[in-house]
Amino acid sequence: MKQKKSKMGKTPPPVQEKIEGISKTGKKIILSGIALLFIGFFVLTKTDPSGSNLASMVSPFLILAGYAVIGAGIIFPEKKSASPLP
């Protein structure tokens, strides 16, 4: 039996893009966001039932800031070092 030859010739292998994970700095930012969340939830335990003390007003902002910092840590790019010319 005859084998059919490709009319296009050899095709180059597909180019694979480099998949990057979370950078080291991003991981540090995420850890600081988690710490901020713990602080926010701890302050939340100190609120009074009527919600009229300082802890009641500050804790929601700490919690939201913690989530925002975690989000920023996820999308924080890797630092690109300049390669020396030969």
Q: Report pLDDT digits (tens) over 35-47.
A: 999 999 999 999 9
Residue 68 to residue 56: CA distance in whole angstroms: 20
Q: Residue 57: inside a domain, yes or no? A: yes
Percent of the chain with pLDDT over 90: 52
> Total domain count for the chain?
1
State residue 11's pLDDT score. Answer: 73
Q: Residue 16: inside a domain, yes or no? A: no
Residue range(s) defining the domain that contains residue 68? 24-75
Q: For residue 28, give both structure tokens.
A: 């540090």
pTM over 0.85? The answer is no
Residue 28 to residue 24: CA distance in whole angstroms: 6
Query: Measured in Å, how far apart are the chain's first and last C-alpha atoms?
Result: 55
Residue 23 to residue 66: CA distance in whole angstroms: 19
Residue 19 has pLDDT above 70, yes or no: no
State residue 14's pLDDT score. Answer: 76
